[in-house]
Amino acid sequence: MITLYDYILSVNCYKLRLLMSILDVEYTSVPIDFYPGWEHKGAAFKKINRLGHIPVIDDDGFVLRDSHAIMVYLASKYDPARRWYPVDDARLLGETASWLLFAEGTTNTASAARLHVNLGYDFDLAAVQAAAHRLFRVLDEHLWFQEHRRLDWVASAGHPTIADLAIFPDIALSEEGGIARRDYPALRRWTARVQRIPGFTAMPGIFPIAPAAVAENRPS
Amino acid sequence: MGLSLRHPENGWFPVAAAEDLPLRHVYAGQLAGHELAIWRADDGNINVWEDRCVHRGVRLSIGQNDGAELMCQYHGWRYANRTGGCTYIPAHPADAPAQTICTRTFPAVERYGLIWSSIDSLGDVPTVDVLVDVRDTVELVVLRSLPFDATPDHVMERLAGHTFAPASNLRPDAEPAIACDPMPGLGVALTSTAGRHSTTVVFFVQPVDADRSIVRPVLVASDGEAIDLDVLIHHAHALDDLRSLVEGEAKSREKPPKLSPPFESVADPSDAHREPRSAPLRVRVASKYDTATGIMAFELAPLGGALPSFQPGAHIDVHLPNGLVRQYSLTNGPHETDVYRIGVKLAIPSTGGSTCLHENVREGDVLAISEPHNNFTLRRDALQTILIAGGIGVTPLLSMAKTIARTGLDWMLHYFVQATDHVAFAPDLDRLGDRVATHLGLGADETVIELERILATTSEHAHVYICGPAPMLDAARRVASDSGWPDSSVHFEYFENTSVVSDSSEFEISLARSALTLRVRSGETILEVLRANGVPMPSSCEQGACGTCFVRVIDGIPDHQDVYMNDAEHAGNDRVATCVSRSLSDRLILDI
C-alpha cells in the first residue's frame, strides 16, 4: 500500500494524485500542514525527508521523494503498458525526460509566482512572472507545432506521458500567480486535453471538464 | 478601407483562427480591450461574447462548451448558443431565467481561415484582394499567430520591413526580395521573391489593446504548392525574431494607457414582456410539413439576427393573420437555436387558430410572435425525470427530453398516442433512442393502468412532467397523488382550461404598490379592469392555463378558476390568475 505525504494545494503533490488516479493505483493520503504550519520543515517530517519538502511516498517501506522521481517510479511500476514512462522507445524517453526538466522551470517560475501570491513565499514576483511567460511562449509554440504534426502531447507519442502531467498543474494554476494564458491558445487547448484524460482528477482551482465527444442525445 | 488601428472599436478585425476553435473548446480572445470568450457550437455557429458571466463577472472562457450551451465554471449559469441568453440557473432550478439575463455578444464571421469580429459592428468584414481574386486556384494557409507587447501602429510600422523566404525555397542563402503592399488599418501584404520562387503572405494586425497586438499571417499557396511543417516553422521563427526586435524597441517607447472598455449593465427587466400581448418578433415560416395525422410542424426563422433564447417547456404566442392569438410550445432542444419548431394540431371543431395555420399560412409567410415565455420549467438537477405526454402534449416534453438527454441524468418519455400515424416528430423521437416509450391506442381505463405502472415507485429525487388533453392530465395527476407523489414533484401544463368559468361575482381589488382601488363588476375580469386603468399586464392564453398573468395576493381569498396551479398552490391563496379567477372575499389586495 502506498502512503502519500500530501498537501491539497501543492502542485507537486497533485501531480502524483493525478497520475495515481489515472493509473487507478490505491493510496492513502497523509495530510501535511504545509501552510501555515510549515510541518514539512519540522523535526518530525525531516526524519521522513531530510530536505524537508513534499511530496514523499512510502510504498511498502520504500520511501521516495521528489515529484518527478516518484512519477518515474510509479509509472514504471504500475503502468503495464509502459506508455506513461515510455522506456521502450529511446527518443520518446529522451523527450519525456526533457519535458520533465522543463516542468522544473515552470514550477520555479509560474508556481513560484503562485506561492508568492497565495502562500506567503517571498519571490521577485515580476521576475518570476516574466520568466514564466518566456517558458509559456516556448511551450505554446511547441504545442502549436505538435498540433500541426497531428500530435496532442508534449512528447511525440500518440498518448500522453508523465511529462504532460508534470507540466500541467503549473500551467493550469498560473492565473493564481497573475500569469494570464490568453496569449497561449495552443497551451489552453492542451490543458483541456489533459483535463479530458480518462481518470483525470481535480484539485482546488483545476476543474474537470466534460468530454469533448458526447454523442448527441445518446440513448443511454 | 477607412479603418484605423487608432480607433480599434471602429471596424472588423480577426480575433482567432478557425482552427483555434476545436470541438467543445472556449477560446480566450481580446479586441480593443474587450476580453472575449469565443466558441463554436456543435451546429457550427461561432459565438463571440464578452468574456464575463453577468452573475459574478467570472470569465466565461474558463467555462464549459457542451456543444449547445456555455456553462460558467463558477455557479453553473448556462448561456444559449447564438443569443447568449441565460437558459438555466442551478441555484433556482425551478425558475425560468429572465429574458434580460444575457451576455453581451459580438458578431462573428469566418473568412480567410480566421474568425472576424467587431466591437460596434459597423460596416462589413474587409475583403483583401490578394486573398480573394485567386481564391479558386490557391489554398490559404493560416500561419502561427503571435502576440506582441507593442502598439498596433508600432507593429504595422515594423511589419513593413519584415522578411521571409518563399515557401518553395527556404534555403538561408536565397536572399529574397520583399515587395510590400500596405493595407491601412488592417495589416500588410508582403511578397517574397527569390529567382523564380515567390510567396505572398498577408499579415493582419489585431489591436488587442492600446499597447498589445496579435499578428495573424495568412499564406497564399500557389496551385499544388506543398506547405509543410518546415514552412510553418520558418514563418513562426521569422515572426518571433521580428517580435524580439519590436518588443525591444517598445521598452524604450512610451506605453499608451490601456483601453478601459465599459461593461454594459444588464438591461432593465421592464421590457416589452410586460406589455399586454406584445408580439415584438417577426419570423418567417421557413418550413411547414405534416409530422403526423392532423399535426403540422412549422419552423419559424428570424428575419435577421438570432431568435431570443428559450428554455425547455417554453411557449410562444403566435399572432395569426385572422387576428387570433394562440400559444404553441417549442419542441427545440438547447442545441437547436436557429429556428423555433412548433407542432399545431388541427382542432375539430377549430375556433379558427389551428385551421388558419393549417390552411392559410404558407412557407415564406411572415408571422408576429411573442418572445418565449416559460411557465413549465424543467429542473436540470433531478436524478430521475419522468415525462408523460398525451397526443400533441408531446411538444414541450420533446424539448425537455432533448435537454435532459444531454446531461447523463436518468429520464424517460412516455408518449400516449392514438396510433402510429399520430406520432408527431418521429425522427426527433427516434434520435432519443429507447428512453422513449410509445403507448399506442389505449382507452381511458388502460391508460390509467399504464400510468399506475409508470408512477408506481415514488422517489424524492424524481420529478414528473405531464402535458396532454385535460382528461388524461387529470387522470395522471390523480394517479400520481394516489401513488404518493408530492405536489411539489409533479409539474403539468394544460393546453386549455376546459372547466366552466364563472364571471358573475363582483368585488374590489386594491393595488398595494399603485395605491389604486378598483371595482371588478360581473362580466369583467381582473385583467381587463387593470388594463382599462392603465396598469400594463402581461398575458398569454387568457383562460387560466399558462400562468403568464398571475399576480401575488397580499390579502383576501381568491376564487381560483385556473388550471395552472396545483391544489396546494390554490390552497396557499398567495397568487391569482387575473384572466379568469375572482374573489371570494369582498376585496383582494394585490402586489402590483
Q: How confident is the model at residue B180 (pLDDT cuts 50, 70, 90)?
A: very high
CATH no. for B384-494: 3.40.50.80
What pLDDT score does A212 carry?
67
Residue B498 has pLDDT above 80, yes or no: yes
For residue B149, the SS3 value is coil
What pLDDT score does A168 carry?
98
How do strand B550-555 and strand B366-369 relate by DSSP bridges?
unpaired
Measure the CA–CA gap between B582 and B360, rounded to whole angstroms. Answer: 37
Same domain for A57 and A132?
Answer: no
Question: Are B509 and B520 in contact, with CB atoms under 8 Å apart?
Answer: yes
DSSP tally for chain B: helices H, then strands E: 10, 35
Q: Which CATH superfamily is domain B1-121 in?
A: Rieske [2Fe-2S] iron-sulphur domain (2.102.10.10)
For A170-216, the pLDDT digits (tens) are 999 999 999 999 999 999 999 999 999 999 999 999 988 877 654 44
Residue B585 or B2, more confident: B585
Residue indicated by cell numbers 494524485: A17
Provide the grid cell at B561.
378558476
Amino acid code (one letter) for B344: V
What pLDDT score does B522 carry?
93
Rg (CA), chain A: 18
Residue B373 DSSP symbol: B
Mean pLDDT value of segment B453-471: 94
Provide the grid cell at B448.
390509467
What pLDDT score does A87 carry?
97
Measured between CB atoms, does A220 come within 8 Å of chain B? yes
Question: Are B213 and B205 in contact, with CB atoms under 8 Å apart?
Answer: yes
Mean pLDDT value of segment B251-277: 67
HSE-CB of A137 using CA atoms within 13 angstroms? 17
Same domain for A60 and A114?
Answer: no
A218:B434 CB<8 A: no
Provide the grid cell at B138.
490557391
Name which of A145, A181, A216 is nearest B233 (Cβ-Cβ): A145
Provide the grid cell at A26.
490505491
B333:A183 CB<8 A: no
HSE-CB of B250 using CA atoms within 13 angstroms? 22
Share of chain B above pLDDT 70, in %: 95
The complex scores an ipTM of 0.92
Same domain for A98 and A73?
Answer: no
Same domain for A36 and A127?
Answer: no
Please check whether residue A124 lies inside any domain of the structure. yes
What pLDDT score does A218 carry?
36
How do strand B295-302 and strand B212-221 relate by DSSP bridges?
unpaired
CATH no. for B507-590: 3.10.20.30
Residue B393 has pLDDT above 50, yes or no: yes
Domain range annotation of chain B: 1-121, 127-261, 275-369, 384-494, 507-590
Chain A's closest residue to B66, CA to CA, is A210
Same domain for A181 and A94?
Answer: yes
Measure the CA–CA gap between B161 and B143, rounded to whole angstroms. Answer: 18
Mean pLDDT value of segment B123-131: 85
Same domain for A63 and A98?
Answer: no
Residue B270 has pLDDT above 50, yes or no: no
Q: How confident is the model at residue B419 (pLDDT cuts 50, 70, 90)?
A: very high
Same domain for A180 and A125?
Answer: yes
A144:B144 CB<8 A: yes
Question: Are B230 and B143 in contact, with CB atoms under 8 Å apart?
Answer: no
What pLDDT score does B134 carry?
54
B67:A220 CB<8 A: no
Instruction: Please provide the size of chain B in residues.
Output: 592
Which of B114, B406, B411, B425 best probes binding to A when mutated, by most A CB atoms within 10 angstroms?
A: B406
Please check whether residue A217 lies inside any domain of the structure. no
Measure the CA–CA gap between B194 and A182, rounded to whole angstroms. Answer: 37
Same domain for A65 and A104?
Answer: no
Measured between CB atoms, does A215 come within 8 Å of chain B? no
For residues B542, B547, B548 and B553, what is the CA-based torsion angle, rounded to 10 degrees? 100
Which chain B residues touch A if contact means CB-CB below 8 Å?
Answer: 16, 20, 22-25, 27-30, 35, 42, 61-62, 64, 66-67, 73, 144, 147, 229, 232-233, 236, 240, 333, 335, 402, 405-406, 431-435
Question: Are B531 and B537 in contact, with CB atoms under 8 Å apart?
Answer: yes
Residue B186 has pLDDT above 80, yes or no: yes
Provide the grid cell at A162.
508523465
For residue B376, the SS3 value is coil
* pLDDT tens track, chain A, 220 positions: 999 999 999 999 999 999 999 999 999 999 999 988 889 999 999 999 999 999 999 999 999 999 999 999 999 999 999 999 999 999 999 999 999 999 999 999 999 999 999 988 999 999 999 999 999 999 999 999 999 999 999 999 999 999 999 999 999 999 999 999 999 999 999 999 999 999 999 999 998 887 765 444 333 3
Measure the CA–CA gap between B336 and B42, rounded to whole angstroms. Answer: 10
Q: How confident is the model at residue B261 (pLDDT cuts 50, 70, 90)?
A: confident
Residue B517 has pLDDT above 50, yes or no: yes
Residue B95 DSSP symbol: S
Instruction: Indicate the average pLDDT of chain B.
Output: 91
Which of B20, B23, B24, B410 best probes binding to A when mutated, by most A CB atoms within 10 angstroms?
A: B24
What pLDDT score does B310 carry?
95
Measured between CB atoms, does A214 come within 8 Å of chain B? yes
pTM, 2 dp:
0.86
What pLDDT score does B277 carry?
59
B20:A185 CB<8 A: yes
Chain B's closest residue to A192, CA to CA, is B25
Amino acid code (one letter) for B194: A
Q: Which residues contact B410 (CB under 8 A, 6 or more apart)?
A: B383, B384, B385
Residue indicated by cell numbers 520558418: B234
A214:B20 CB<8 A: no
**Residue-range definition of the domain harbouring residue A162:** 90-195
Burial class of residue B231, CB neighbours in 10 A (0-12, 13-18, 19+): buried
Q: At what angle do helices A90-106 and A67-78 cross, to 10 degrees?
A: 150
Measure the CA–CA gap between A65 and A76, rounded to whole angstroms. Answer: 16
Mean pLDDT value of segment B530-541: 87
Measure the CA–CA gap between A191 and A164, rounded to whole angstroms. Answer: 9
Amino acid code (one letter) for A85: Y
One-character DSSP codes across B387-440: EEEEGGGHHHHHHHHHHHTTTT-EEEEEEEESSGGG-TTHHHHHHHGGGEEEEE
Which residues on A lie below 8 Å from B233 (Cβ)? 145
* Sheet strands (E) in B267-419: 281-292, 295-302, 315-319, 325-329, 340-345, 366-369, 384-390, 410-417
B406:A149 CB<8 A: no
Burial class of residue B192, CB neighbours in 10 A (0-12, 13-18, 19+): buried
CATH number at residue A126: 1.20.1050.10
Domain boundary among A50, A78, A106: A78
Q: How far A139 CA sits from the closest chain B CA (Å)?
A: 13
Buried b (16+ CB within 10 A) or exposed e, B538-576: bbbbbbbbbbbbbbebeebebbbbbbbbbeeebeebebb
Give me the phi and psi of B434, to 5 degrees please. Answer: -85, 10
In CATH terms, B127-261 corresponds, of 3.30.360.10, 3.40.50.300, 3.30.530.20, 1.10.357.10, to: 3.30.530.20
Nearest to B30 by CA among B178, B210, B190: B210
Same domain for A109 and A59?
Answer: no
Amino acid code (one letter) for A84: W
Number of domains in chain A: 2
CA B234, distance to chain mean position in Å, is: 43
CATH number at residue A12: 3.40.30.10
Residue B432 has pLDDT above 90, yes or no: yes
Contacts 24+ apart (CB under 8 A), B573-577: B575/B550, B575/B551, B576/B526, B576/B550, B576/B551, B577/B544, B577/B547, B577/B549, B577/B550
Count CB pairs under 8 A between chains A and B.
Answer: 67
Nearest 5°: the CA angle A13, A16, A17 is 85
Q: How confident is the model at residue B3 (pLDDT cuts 50, 70, 90)?
A: very low
What pLDDT score does A215 carry?
40
Residue A203 DSSP symbol: B
Q: For residue B524, how many other CB atoms are within 10 A of its CB?
A: 15
Provide the grid cell at A4.
502519500
B64:A214 CB<8 A: no
Measure the CA–CA gap between B96 and A139, rounded to whole angstroms. Answer: 44
Please check whether residue A7 lies inside any domain of the structure. yes
What pLDDT score does B137 carry?
62
Same domain for A73 and A142?
Answer: no
What pLDDT score does B321 carry?
86
Residue B271 has pLDDT above 90, yes or no: no
Same domain for A46 and A68?
Answer: yes
Name which of B24, B229, B335 is nearest A212 (Cβ-Cβ): B24
Q: How far A219 CA sits from the closest chain B CA (Å)?
A: 5
Which CATH architecture is the domain B275-369 placed in?
Answer: Beta Barrel (2.40)
Which residues on A lie below 8 Å from B432 (Cβ)? 217, 219
Three-class SS string for B470-539?
Answer: HHHHHHHHHHHHHCCCCHHHEEEEECCCCCCCCCCCCEEEEECCCCEEEEECCCCCHHHHHHHCCCCCCC
Nearest to B376 by CA among B353, B358, B400, B360: B400
Mean pLDDT value of segment B64-83: 94
What pLDDT score does B1 carry?
33
